[in-house]
């Protein structure tokens, strides 16, 4: 398809063009670009395509800062100036709350941008693979990579066993690059086998690097099977090369998938955890702990939640999908009592421990499926909430949870969401008894289309 004019950006972050009255979704383009595009997928009402040639660049386009841009699946909006990224995210929230929510809205507050647009993540996971992704440029040049098909980096989108070898990622402190590149060099030098996800063979599987605002550093290396001599040598090399690692851990994972939530984590050096701080509170971060990956913007988000909750010190607050209890512990000093509920038992144990570390005594945490836990008898036992804070996964809330919230009938509901579309759907269901009185988007992930949004609902 030749000379397509890109006219807009969709909610999923892909650019939009028209071809014979059919919508075409194109990644890595922005409004104002004129491109030739090759179709990669076709549906009844739209097509997907990739850019093969630029006839004209949009005057708003900026140069991407990452050498892996256009191939790596992350940071797809680097060519958009940050102020435009914020505008499109604001538009996304407005559009989805209006179109899907179908409720009366107040004036939506301007999105709160991230002060850091690089090096803002506190956690990255890299995959080892013997199926290195070769770029179109590499293939067309006739280069064969000198026979090296090992890689450590990020999965190529929609290619479960193909991994892009990453030299430098600008999302996390540079120590992350140094550690990843050191492990790669050591593994290649010592012929350590990289994992083959399809054949289920190899040794090196994944590695996770976690950093904290305290300066503490955690590294987790995951192996397919245990080889004591090789493991000891590799981890000693890391320990010697990076003495600043506070927590050096490893996992043996012989399963077909990469998740380690059900695997034992072993400590090779230092502590089995690191600490994050926020407004005088200390949060213990273990290898499996969930913590917002943009620490500084997490503080912005939680302050918004606290502001919307309008606590006076006497309220009973339910914190649904509490995770490791970060929000619950953060607001506890301003509430009478906080009850947190979360599906993952390990997360609840973290929440309880974080409460204990900070001397917080007015919080209670419960593990279980939200739709099963939050029922009439639970509310009768723990008291009717004055405020409900809910921060569900991307899929939003189960109908039974919404029904239970309506029965509980709090004065205010503060709804935090990483998916404005499902948030809008749920707000529509809550609208029988509640009206939206405030909306605050927050940008947690610069250079991506993802946006966090906080909605305040008050009883009619």
Beta bridge partners of 206: 127, 222
Asked whether residue 36 falls in the same domain as residue 91, the answer is no
Gap between the Cα atoms of 453 and 301, Å rounded: 9
Gap between the Cα atoms of 120 and 114, Å rounded: 9
Taking CA 130 as the corner, what is the angle to CA 126 and CA 134, rounded to the nearest 5 degrees?
A: 85
Would you give the distance in Å from CA 166 to the centre of its chain?
19
196 DSSP 8-state letter: B
Asked whether residue 446 falls in the same domain as residue 324, the answer is yes
Asked whether residue 333 falls in the same domain as residue 437, the answer is yes
pLDDT at residue number 70: 85
Classify residue 311 as exposed, middle or buried by CB count within 10 Å of its CB (0-12, 13-18, 19+): buried
Q: Check 66, 72, 75, 418 and give the catalytic one.
A: 418
pLDDT at residue number 145: 54
Asked whether residue 269 falls in the same domain as residue 411, the answer is no
Per-residue model confidence as pLDDT tens digits over 275-306: 999 999 999 999 998 899 999 999 999 999 99
Asked whether residue 152 falls in the same domain as residue 262, the answer is yes
Asked whether residue 110 falls in the same domain as residue 155, the answer is no
Strand pairing class (34-42; 22-26): unpaired
pLDDT at residue number 142: 67
Q: Which helix (H) or strand (E) holds 181?
A: helix 175-189
Active-site residue 66, yes or no? no
pLDDT at residue number 157: 83
Among 278, 313, 334, where does a domain finish?
278
pLDDT at residue number 221: 98
Instruction: Note whether residue 71 is domain-resident.
Output: no
Gap between the Cα atoms of 247 and 235, Å rounded: 12
Q: Which domain holds residue 256?
A: 123-278
Quote the number of domains for the chain: 3
Asked whether residue 109 falls in the same domain as residue 128, the answer is no
Instruction: Note whether residue 283 is domain-resident.
Output: no
> What global pTM score does this model have?
0.92
CATH of residue 26: 2.40.50.140
Per-residue model confidence as pLDDT tens digits over 81-108: 999 999 999 999 999 999 999 999 999 9
The tokens describing 20, both together, are 């014979």
Gap between the Cα atoms of 275 and 216, Å rounded: 7
CATH of residue 166: 2.40.50.1070
Residues with pLDDT less than 50, the chain: none
CATH of residue 332: 3.40.50.150
Gap between the Cα atoms of 331 and 346, Å rounded: 21
């Amino acid at each position: 398809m030749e000379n397509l004019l890109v006219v807009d950006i969709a909610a999923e972050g892909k650019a939009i063009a028209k071809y014979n009255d059919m919508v075409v979704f194109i990644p890595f383009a922005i409004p104002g670009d004129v491109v030739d595009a090759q179709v990669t997928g076709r549906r009844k009402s739209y097509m997907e395509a990739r850019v093969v040639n630029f006839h004209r660049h949009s005057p708003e386009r900026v140069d991407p800062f990452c050498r892996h841009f256009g191939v790596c699946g992350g940071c797809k909006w680097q060519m958009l100036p940050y102020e435009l990224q914020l505008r499109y995210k604001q538009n996304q929230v407005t559009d989805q709350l209006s179109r899907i929510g179908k409720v009366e809205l107040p004036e939506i507050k301007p999105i709160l941008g991230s002060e850091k647009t690089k090096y803002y993540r506190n956690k990255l996971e890299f995959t080892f693979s013997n199926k290195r992704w070769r770029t179109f440029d590499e293939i067309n040049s006739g280069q064969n990579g000198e026979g090296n098909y090992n890689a450590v980096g990020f999965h190529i989108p929609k290619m479960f066993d193909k991994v892009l070898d990453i030299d430098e990622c600008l999302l996390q402190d540079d120590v992350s690059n140094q550690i990843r590149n050191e492990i790669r060099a050591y593994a290649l030098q010592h012929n350590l086998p990289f994992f083959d996800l399809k054949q289920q063979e190899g040794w090196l599987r994944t590695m996770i690097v976690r950093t904290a605002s305290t300066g503490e550093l955690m590294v987790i290396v995951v192996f397919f099977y245990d080889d004591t001599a090789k493991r000891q040598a590799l981890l000693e090399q890391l320990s010697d090369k990076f003495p600043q690692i506070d927590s050096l851990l490893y996992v043996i994972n012989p399963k077909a998938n990469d998740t380690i939530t059900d695997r034992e984590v072993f400590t090779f050096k230092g502590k089995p955890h690191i600490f994050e701080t926020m407004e005088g509170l200390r949060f213990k971060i273990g290898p499996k702990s969930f913590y917002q990956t943009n620490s500084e913007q997490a503080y912005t988000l939680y302050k918004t939640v606290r502001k919307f909750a309008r606590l006076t010190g006497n309220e009973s607050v339910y914190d649904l999908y509490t995770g490791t209890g970060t929000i619950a512990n953060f607001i506890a000093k301003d509430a009478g009592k906080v009850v947190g509920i979360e599906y993952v038992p390990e997360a609840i144990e973290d929440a309880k421990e974080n409460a204990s570390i900070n001397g917080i005594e007015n919080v209670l945490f419960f593990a279980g499926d939200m739709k099963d836990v939050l029922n009439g008898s639970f509310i009768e036992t723990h008291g009717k909430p004055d405020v409900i804070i809910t921060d569900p996964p991307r899929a939003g809330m189960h109908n039974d949870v919404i029904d239970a919230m309506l029965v509980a009938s709090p004065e205010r509901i503060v709804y935090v969401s990483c998916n404005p579309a499902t948030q809008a759907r749920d707000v529509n269901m809550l609208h029988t008894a509640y009206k939206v009185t405030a909306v605050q988007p927050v940008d947690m992930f610069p250079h991506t289309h993802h946006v966090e949004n906080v909605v305040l609902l008050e009883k009619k």
